[in-house]
Every structure is written in structure tokens, then in C-alpha cells.
Chain A
Amino acid sequence: MTGDVFVVIGAGQAGIQVCNSLRNSGFCGQLILVGDEDILPYQRPPLSKSFLLGDVDEQRLFFRPQSHFDKQSIEPLLGTKVIAIDRSAKRVRLEGGRTLNYTKLALTTGTRVRELDCEGAANNAQVHYIRSLNDSIALRNKLAEVERVAIIGGGFVGLEVAAVTRKLGKAVTVYEAEDRLMGRVVSPMLSEFYSDLHRENDVSLCLGERIDKVEVSNNTVQIYTNKQQSLDCDIIVAGIGAIANDEIALEAGLKCDRGIIVDNRCLTSDPNIVAAGDCTVHFNQFAGKTVRLESVQNAVDQAKIAASTMLGGESVYDQVPWFWSDQYDAKLQIAGINTDYDKYLTAGRVGDTRFSIFYFKDDRLIGADSINDPSCHMAVRKIMSTKSVSVSQIQENLSDLKSFAKQ
């Protein structure tokens, strides 16, 4: 494959994984990793957790040092935006006019934050988001100066930030437009558990409240909601979701639907272009529908398949989805996608420091949420990757899921 040029657009978790997998599989052509941030690829999960808290310094976030890129002949083209893809010429146009010809192209463009669109939110320096390292550094620095933090969005990011800011001793209010926390990804029982957890930690929770307006006067931010409430705070952190960066794909005529559509080999509608990670939508066998997953697991596993496909392999993406979130002393690990369950079963008591909830649909296990129960989480991942199991099978084997997983 000498003479081939593989270009990877997007230097996040999926982008670096595509590069590493290509080299590990023996690809010896030219390999260029284009990233719009001007630093080497780094991990994003700690940005709303340990890094924000100040437990981890910047240097420890990088996936690999410069020497790795040198040794593996991966050319990072950083601080560089891609303007367009010319599919017929198999060429990528970069900001500033430079072009790159490619034999195969990988799109790992990730997402960007959804911005608050209420009155007073745009270009408001008191409104923070967390997507990039710089975002997290800016927020971390700001947190050192303020006392009252309003968090908009009761999803993973918002609640992780709530936990961190409480640990830092700030007064914290969380606004969630839906009537429960993390409603898109967890069951009502688990939402309840997290409401209790945050309230126990003195977070003021405002559920079912949408933000109508924010105003800043004399360094105080005032928030007005649909319930006619108002709150004074020092800063706002908004974690209200992300938008797939699919514009260059869309403009190049690739099939997109709020994300770049890929098949089970991570191929887009162009046979020379693959895509992986948060920017993609795919039919997920575990969800039983087309989804866009925002997770390390999806980024890493799709990237491996995308690399294989670039090299002419036939591997398909069939990994069990998993997610995690750290809030206070509760480690949540989610296996599978369990939003459509019709029955559930618990191991341990919901509300204890350690428990799991198994979810079923049509008498088949579709996932489990575990709180501080990693062995259960790992067993469920293993079980779901190898077999289809019923409610009674889980019930019968509850005392020793590990052995059952190995059968």
C-alpha cells in the first residue's frame, strides 16, 4: 500500500484511533491527521470531571506524545480547518487554500456544543460550555473566582459539572427542561436516584424549567425561567447537547441525517470515505434503530472498524454500547441502550451505594445500568455480546453473572 495517502479529518478520540489502528494493521502509506485545534489529540471525558476539578493536569490528557506520531509516521496537521471535500477529485481543501489528495478518507469530525438560544445568551461571557480543553480551562479558572453557579441541562455533562462544582464548595442550581434528569438515556428509577443524590449534595434542582432569558448587570447574572422564577448567579454552565459536525460531508453530497450516515463497516455513501465516532449515525442492532451515539466506546470501536474498511477488510461494527459517568462517589456504567424497555429487574436496592438495574424488551435483555457495580456491568456487556437472554435466565443466574457470562 505504499503510495497510498489516507487522510483523517478530526483529531479526537476516533481520529487518533483510526490512525493507530491503521498503523497496527500494517498500513505503510502516508497518513495525515487533520485537526482544527492546535494541540495534539486529547481525552475529553475528564474535561467535565477530574480535569475540571483540578485533579489532573493538562499534560496528562494527551493520548500520545509527539514522539508517538513521529515513530508511527502519523502527520498531525493541527490548527487546520477543512473547507471542503471534492469527492470526484479525491481531494480535501483546507483553510488557506492548501489541498490534500487522498486515496481513502476518514471523517471523525465529532460534535460541537448546542448553544443556549434564549434571550441574552448569545456572546455572553458569563455563559460557559464544555467541549474543548480550552473551554474546560476557562471554566476552571472562572470557578476559582465565583461562588454561585447555575447549570443549564441535567444530562451527563451538566450533572458531572454540578458534582465538581459542589466539591469545590460552590452554590449550585441545575435547570432541566424535562421533568427528570438524564431523561434521554436513563430510566425513571435512575433519574430519581440521581435527583436524590444531587439534592443530598445540596444542589438545588429545578426540573421542568426552561430558561427564557438571561441578563447580566454588575457582574451578576439573572436567570428567568418559564415558571416565572428568577435566580441570581455568577456564571452559567450550559450542557444542553451537541450537534454533529456533518457540514463538510453534507456539502460533499454524502448522505447525512443529523450526522453522517454509515453502514456497519463505517462506510459512508462514498466507497472511499469512512466515518466514525460522535459525528456518525448508524443502525445499531442493540438499540434496534438508527442512532447517533456520543461515547468513547462508539468512537473507539467504530474507528477500529473504519480503519479495517479503509484497508479493504470486512469487519463489521457489532460491539455492545457502553457509557459511564462519574458524579460524587457514584460511578454509573451503562451497558446496552435501554430506552425502550418493557420490564426491569434490580440487583441490590435502588438507592444503595451499589446496585444494578437490568432492562428487557420482549423478554430479552437489552441493557443494564450499574451504580458502583462494575462486575455486573462487565458481565452484562459480555453476555450481550455473545447471547440473547431472557428475564428468567438473568433471575436464575443473578448470584453469579460472571460465570453465566463465560458459559
Chain B
Amino acid sequence: MSFREKTAWLTLCAIVIVTVMFWLHSPTGFNAHNHHWVMLALLLSLGTYVCIEVVGYVVLRLRYPRDARTPRDERERLIDLKALRFAYYTFVIGTFGGIFFMLHLVHAGAGTIGTVVLAAFVTAQLVKHAVRIVYYRRDA
């Protein structure tokens, strides 16, 4: 397994852990009564994510120093670009599809739409790293 694949697994796991924690412990959607709580939950989630990423990356660098020193090569850059394209489409479809659904079919408020956009962003990140792993696995 290449170093970049290990970091992709690390990021994917970090996103899943933080997302599950956030959705389990935060109220659904922003509104006038809970926006402080939601912002706090978002900041805590972001902090947890950064901590997992930094600690995990340091551990990986210490365990595989030679792999970590190898610069990203052309194939890895190509895989990153392909993954980014999948993530972009996921984000666009998720955001616009979600906003359309929430506005026209559910008549939801701005808070719920904000949650939908956040969910689209997180899903796009998950897709990006999952696609990276698939391409790394396929060519290994």
C-alpha cells in the first residue's frame, strides 16, 4: 500500500468518525434556538478532525519515513485529479439537488438548506477519498 493510499484511508476514516459524531450529537438543521449549539458542534467536529489527521499523519510519517519522503508522482497526481472530478460532481449535484428538493418539495427553511449544503460537502469529501483508494487499489 502506497503512502498516499494510507493517507487517503486516514482521511476517509477521520471524516466518517467526525461525521457520525456530529450527526449523532447535534440537532438537525440551524434555527434561531439552536444555532449556537450547532456552531459549537461544528467547531468541535472540525477540531477533532484536524487532531485525527495531524496525529495520524505524524504516526504514518514516523512508521514509513522513506515512503513519506517520496514526492507525489504523475500517476498519483492523475488519481487525485480524477478523484477531485468525482467529488466536484457529487458536491454540485448534492447542493443543487438538495436545495431544489428542500425549497420546492419540503419547503424547508434556510437552516435545513445549510445542513444540506454541509452534507453535500462532506459526501463529496468522502467520495473523493473513496475514489482515490479505489484507483490506488486497482493499480496496485
A and B from one complex = no
